[in-house]
Structure 1
């Protein structure tokens, strides 16, 4: 009888949770200025069902759905009516706060300072909850200032020549302990003044430490949401697996937003990286321990190593390249590793243990790149902003790691993003996230849901696939001239207001060189100071933005600012060592292209396409200047499959007519 009663109560609370979810999105939120979005409501119901049934929900949410409110409401309802605890006047039970993991700091701040306070205010007014929703952002130590280190750094630069902007940013840390809130701070300064990985127990500044005070709110009873990035979530899981003290309070609900970035975070967690700034930082701390001569030897030898590696491995910024080694490079690697290990040994207790550990870790990374390598890792090089190589070793076991660290535990989770679905399915996402194959261990069942964007793409968006676009050899001058001609015509058609997305910085540079001086609108090129250049583009209003890399996602240009989006090539991933290793898992190239290359392209294409329409009233032409996307092209159907249904055009006349029909006089002024 007791068991039947419990089932009855659970069913009753579940129904109440769904009823209140319906009320929140149909009545409460619209009364405070938000539109009723049927897909958002259905998405929240799906998420709530997954949490209630201890399932994992894979939720692909189109642009403009409002997925953040959808999962916040689902979490609040599950906390309020948790089985055996809920009743009509129940309060959200805060004993085990939900975790929201994201990729970007911007989204974390928005959830903390905008979404949760707004939702909390409404739910309190409607008496759906009786105490305010509380949240805390949890970030790694590297984001916060160590007051002792800051004092030392300020003394070191006080009377020295230094970039004034960087110096001002550094001194502003006296009053602001969160470095993410300070603009203009150099990467080198960040690394020198951040809280160290291991704080000494006898630290003289521990009592008044701002970082320790920052941690106190997270320990308070009454927190409903812990917000962190994917790396912090995975670090917490690793701590738990090794029996260390957890970084996050215990939780039974996980929300992974921007989940398409999770595999990348695992690669960073499990991999090894060494850049020249790491060496400079290490030498700086050695010098502070009165080891100036040893620091100088390390700095000189490793600078030579990085320079030789750069000469032997030329490649483009933003790309990965296979590590190639000559006898000279191999000898330098051995000598550099030996110097690092030898310095750690000879210094002994004359330097802190954590510096000895850093010396040994740096030596071990260099050992990875000698002939005897660990087959668990894929080795490659990247290029930093100073054009020095970065030594990278990435794990081959990303899906297995995610399964073991997160999903095997069996708790319910919401995994969401705007690009989880490729084509018509989630198969590739399941494989990347470790959710494919038969259910093992305690892994919760997986359910899938795709919420389509509420935007009227058929009315407000035109997809232009030029039919007369000819195939020209990649990298040739003729190709750059042809692309420039197409872009010029489209820019004139849209009267500026254009964003051009490239898959290659090299091609972007060649096209920009052809176009400079030939457009009557400002040209803005996004290279390495992206935020500054994007701000310039916004200020102009009707400029032309040329971008690649990170600008395929995360940038927001609502209104008329981007009324013409040009995608120069289909965003197939550039071949690199990681892709080559992935290719080895498939019997044929065709199977790999179908299973991995095309789904990855479709996801990236959707990300780029998402820059076009950002609100219900935006109108835009999206042009794809790739002959493979045109009607009859090899990937025409795959392109249409990836994008929302919208109007189609094959001529510039149609593009011009669409723009004229959608824009008013002010647009052209």
Structure 2
């Protein structure tokens, strides 16, 4: 650690009235909300306690937790949901704190292993480079030159397409990495990254890396993670934690994973090695049995298309018992041949084969009451998965006992003004309903003047979202609303089907650039949106973590209340679990979860004190159903309108001065 607790700085001297931040940034005004949150975070560090802090957009929550974290004298992990926020913290906020606020500290930016060039795999690949297309092969000269010069090995330094398939053979994962047994371990980019992190006061990571590392450490099988030892964790964008954690505390076997094992097994030995022919034959057997399994699986399990999922039950898995047995036998034969061999590559094959054989057995039984089992098809990939239904128990067992200080923060943690839903989903209450540790809560309002800056349009003349003709009527409403604002709109959907249909119905009639999620990478879509008045049709990833301040975005249209689909296997399992506990799933899970999701969607609109615009909710149930009150009470206090003419008059009329709420 580079710096003990500072005696010359305090939260108040840096963030308070007349403090270092106000003096360093021209035009900056002290934010009471920011200081209030910073003091609460400081108290959590001093008391060794847990804090749930909801901080509305514009409060400056990032600095509100970074300052007390750096002053604490402890090594702190800051984990975010999005790369955008990760980049902002490391490349913007932290340098500003050094240069403008006089703080001295060391920070490290960490990503998952898959983001870094693996020197060992690169050496093997270079001897016989194979590409899936001529287009991919054109990147090879540039990649080779970069590999010789890079100091970090971070793929982000290269302008590679997201779909560059050869990268999986040039990088490694926690499963394929040989760790200390690798002949290039000391020079490894991940090893060097970890050593840099060991000297840092602050580690900036994302949720997926944090939980992948935690799952690896707590599995009992391997102890070397990517992250060094740390004292405390701050989870920003904490509303996304449950889904991130559940994906790493379960198991997944796919056709991709089995194919990669077969390919890596063959690559471990040179052709002149006497064992190579047998290893190649065993790998071919594994590949053949895997292909047989995944050729049968879609029809046997009831998968309905290239992007679909279905729950797995013991009786459905029984239909694949012969094919599954074939894969397990092939894995067993492969590991029986490689076990005991001295080469670390063959030892890794043995470990990976044993793990997959065990996981396939767990998946086939599909009998653990604490897990949900499902199959998922994504393009050419087919995945058999099992995840904990409830991550609360996992977090209590794997994390809370080892950490005395954890801060959860987001603009959306409270549903209907209460933190109970989030706290229970995160396991901060035990099965007896009692807190597992000292937990404080704080809700800091946004400084934005929402009654002046934002209007909430709530039409009731549209059909119910489940009624025939809804999306056609919604498309007409989208056209009218875009005319009010001159485009400059996000149209957010809860389903890809509705997104595509609405786009098809309006694209030829919009006098603005129309953009569709999936047609280009996300960053390119945002750049195009900012450059010219546009209408972006999007779902899923655009509901949160997207920041478009200023006039480029003046309208956010949401097609329907974002209830999670009860057809989703994980959602269905959570509903069933609550029913078995005697709880009402709608009140305890579905409603508060949807309310938080809607707040995220609303939050795309107002990003600065000069922003002004409209959020339109096309789902009449927010007004006509009793539970609509929960949604409305969770949203900022914007002006509510039901008539598009009145809405146009408000938006295009004289702009009242925005008052700053203190």
Asked if these proteins are the same fold (TM beyond 0.5), I'd say: yes
Residue of structure 2 aligned with 1:194, choices 171, 182, 198: 171
Superposed CA deviations along residues 30-52 of structure 1, whole A, max 9, x for unmatched, are 54143322211111111112222
Aligned pairs for 1:540-619 (under 5 A) are 540-575=531-566, 576-587=568-579, 591-619=584-612
162-171 vs 463-472, which deviates more?
162-171
SS in 2 for 1:538: helix
Q: Distance in 2 between matches of 1:336 and 1:115?
A: 50
Superposed CA deviations along residues 346-397 of structure 1, whole A, max 9, x for unmatched, are 454567011122223223333233246333321012232x243321110235
13-22 vs 97-106, which deviates more?
13-22
Conserved? CA contact 2:84–2:545, under 8 Å: no
Q: Distance in 2 between matches of 1:60 and 1:601?
A: 17
Measure how far apart 1:499 and its partner are: 0.9
Residue of structure 1 aligned with 2:149, choices 130, 153, 175: 175
Q: Distance in 2 between matches of 1:15 and 1:49?
A: 18
Q: Distance in 1 between matches of 2:643 and 2:436?
A: 51
Q: In structure 1, what is the equivalent of residue 404 of structure 2? A: 411
SS in 1 for 2:51: strand
Q: Distance in 2 between matches of 1:68 and 1:372?
A: 42
Q: Distance in 2 between matches of 1:603 and 1:550?
A: 15
For structure 2, list consecutive stretches of 5 or more residues without a partner in the other structure. Answer: 1-5, 269-275, 657-662
Q: In structure 2, what is the equivalent of residue 469 of structure 1? A: 462
Q: In structure 2, what is the equivalent of residue 93 of structure 1? A: none
Superposed CA deviations along residues 167-192 of structure 1, whole A, max 9, x for unmatched, are 46744444340124434254643322
Q: Distance in 1 between matches of 2:234 and 2:559?
A: 35
Superposed CA deviations along residues 147-201 of structure 1, whole A, max 9, x for unmatched, are 1211222333379843246546744444340124434254643322224644365
Conserved? CA contact 1:136–1:226, under 8 Å: yes
Conserved? CA contact 2:462–2:470, under 8 Å: no
SS in 2 for 1:303: helix
Would you say 1:294 and 2:282 are equivalent positions?
yes
Give the root-mean-square deviation of aligned CA atoms: 3.2
Q: Distance in 1 between matches of 2:454 and 2:525?
A: 23
SS in 2 for 1:255: strand
52-61 vs 244-253, which deviates more?
244-253
Measure how far apart 1:275 and its partner are: 2.8
Q: Distance in 1 between matches of 2:229 and 2:617?
A: 47
Q: In structure 2, what is the equivalent of residue 117 of structure 1? A: 95
Q: In structure 2, what is the equivalent of residue 511 of structure 1? A: 502
Q: Distance in 2 between matches of 1:493 and 1:332?
A: 59
SS in 2 for 1:116: helix
Q: In structure 2, what is the equivalent of residue 260 of structure 1? A: 239
Superposed CA deviations along residues 450-501 of structure 1, whole A, max 9, x for unmatched, are 1111112111111000022222645x4x222112111111122222111111
Normalised to the residue count of structure 2, the TM-score between the two structures is: 0.86
Structure 1 residues 217 and 536, CA gap change in structure 2 (3 angstroms): closer
Residue of structure 1 aligned with 2:40, choices 39, 43, 46: 46
Q: In structure 1, what is the equivalent of residue 122 of structure 2? A: 150
Residue of structure 1 aligned with 2:652, choices 636, 640, 660: 660
Would you say 1:306 and 2:284 are equivalent positions?
no
Q: In structure 2, what is the equivalent of residue 281 of structure 1? A: 260
Q: In structure 1, what is the equivalent of residue 630 of structure 2? A: 638
Structure 1 residues 514 and 184, CA gap change in structure 2 (3 angstroms): same
For structure 1, list consecutive stretches of 5 or more residues without a partner in the other structure. Answer: 1-12, 80-95, 665-669
Measure how far apart 1:556 and its partner are: 1.6
Measure how far apart 1:259 and its partner are: 1.7
Measure how far apart 1:438 and its partner are: 8.3
SS in 2 for 1:545: strand
Measure how far apart 1:224 and its partner are: 2.0
Would you say 1:323 and 2:312 are equivalent positions?
yes
Structure 1 residues 20 and 408, CA gap change in structure 2 (3 angstroms): same
Normalised to the residue count of structure 1, the TM-score between the two structures is: 0.85
Measure how far apart 1:602 and its partner are: 0.7
Structure 1 residues 418 and 649, CA gap change in structure 2 (3 angstroms): same
Q: Distance in 2 between matches of 1:592 and 1:196?
A: 37
Q: Distance in 1 between matches of 2:578 and 2:126?
A: 55
Q: In structure 1, what is the equivalent of residue 472 of structure 2? A: 481
Q: Distance in 1 between matches of 2:351 and 2:539?
A: 38
Q: Distance in 1 between matches of 2:42 and 2:307?
A: 40
Structure 1 residues 532 and 120, CA gap change in structure 2 (3 angstroms): closer
Structure 1 residues 359 and 284, CA gap change in structure 2 (3 angstroms): same
Conserved? CA contact 2:390–2:574, under 8 Å: no
Aligned residues: 624
Conserved? CA contact 2:14–2:101, under 8 Å: no
